[in-house]
């Protein structure tokens, strides 16, 4: 399980990382709003711990942007403010819980565990496109009712193009949307993934828009 910690206080961040790692939770720490928004676009997290007081933008701005992008990762607000307005406003913007500084690490850990349990109980609806059915909860793909075993890299690519059906996506847009910077995905790798998906499912499913990128038609053919 990976947790994104958005906190500019190094001492607090170190304490959280140390305790969470003892509980087998990997913490990725960023100290600014811009870094946080970049991270959530590239990776999936079990929970986001979000400090409201950051140097470049408020936690409220980050939370609003995350929810506007339809990212439903549970968010725990971490703040030094004990005002009711901040708690209510954060929850109204889409936060799932809050902890007020100074906080007890064990209480925070318990709240994070609860958010993870709650989110794992959510069942994302299947994505259906013609003879293709994608089950996000189990990350499985069915084509004409037969299970298709795709590597996760190709699964994410196909899901993304179907979700964006009718819109052309460049190779760089695909890389930025789906893969982490440490994955070292190059544009010719996307070409290989597309070719493999075509062989496994339907050669006409993903259209090549010469000189631009790829797309899935708005409606199945």
The rounded average pLDDT for each run of 10 residues, N- to C-terminus, in the chain (221 residues) is 92 94 88 94 91 91 92 88 74 89 86 83 76 85 92 89 91 79 75 96 94 92 73
Whole-number Å distance between alpha carbons of 141 and 127? 9
Is the full-model pTM beyond 0.85?
no
pLDDT of residue 139: 79
Spatial CB neighbours of 212, under 8 Å, sequence gap ≥ 6? 168, 170
- Scan for tokens 């990976």, then name that residue: 2
pLDDT of residue 183: 61
Domains and CATH numbers, the chain: 2-120 (3.40.50.2300), 127-216 (1.10.10.10)
pLDDT of residue 104: 83
pLDDT of residue 15: 95
Q: Is the dihedral of CA 87, 93, 95, 96 positive or negative?
A: positive
- Cα–Cα nearest to 107, from 116, 94, 98, 117: 98
pLDDT of residue 182: 46
For the chain, how many residues are written? Answer: 221
């Amino acid at each position: 399980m990976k947790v994104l910690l958005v906190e500019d206080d190094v001492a607090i961040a170190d304490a959280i990382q140390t305790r969470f790692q003892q509980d087998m939770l990997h913490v990725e720490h960023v100290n600014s709003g811009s870094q946080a928004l970049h991270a959530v676009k590239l990776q999936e997290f079990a929970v986001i711990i979000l400090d409201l007081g950051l140097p470049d933008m408020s936690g409220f701005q980050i939370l609003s942007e995350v929810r506007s992008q339809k990212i439903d990762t549970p968010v725990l607000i971490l703040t030094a403010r004990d005002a009711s307005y901040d708690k209510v406003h954060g929850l109204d913007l889409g936060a799932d819980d809050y902890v007020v500084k100074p906080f007890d690490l064990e209480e925070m850990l318990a709240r994070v565990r609860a958010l993870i349990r709650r989110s794992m109980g959510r069942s994302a609806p299947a994505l259906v496109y013609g003879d293709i059915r994608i089950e996000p909860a189990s990350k499985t793909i069915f084509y004409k009712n037969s299970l298709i075993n795709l590597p996760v890299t190709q699964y994410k690519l196909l899901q993304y193009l179907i979700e964006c059906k009718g819109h052309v996506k460049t190779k760089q847009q695909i890389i930025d949307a789906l893969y982490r910077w440490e994955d070292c995905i190059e544009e010719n790798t996307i070409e290989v993934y597309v070719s493999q998906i075509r062989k496994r499912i339907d050669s006409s499913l993903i259209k090549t828009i010469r000189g631009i990128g790829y797309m899935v038609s708005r409606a199945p053919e």
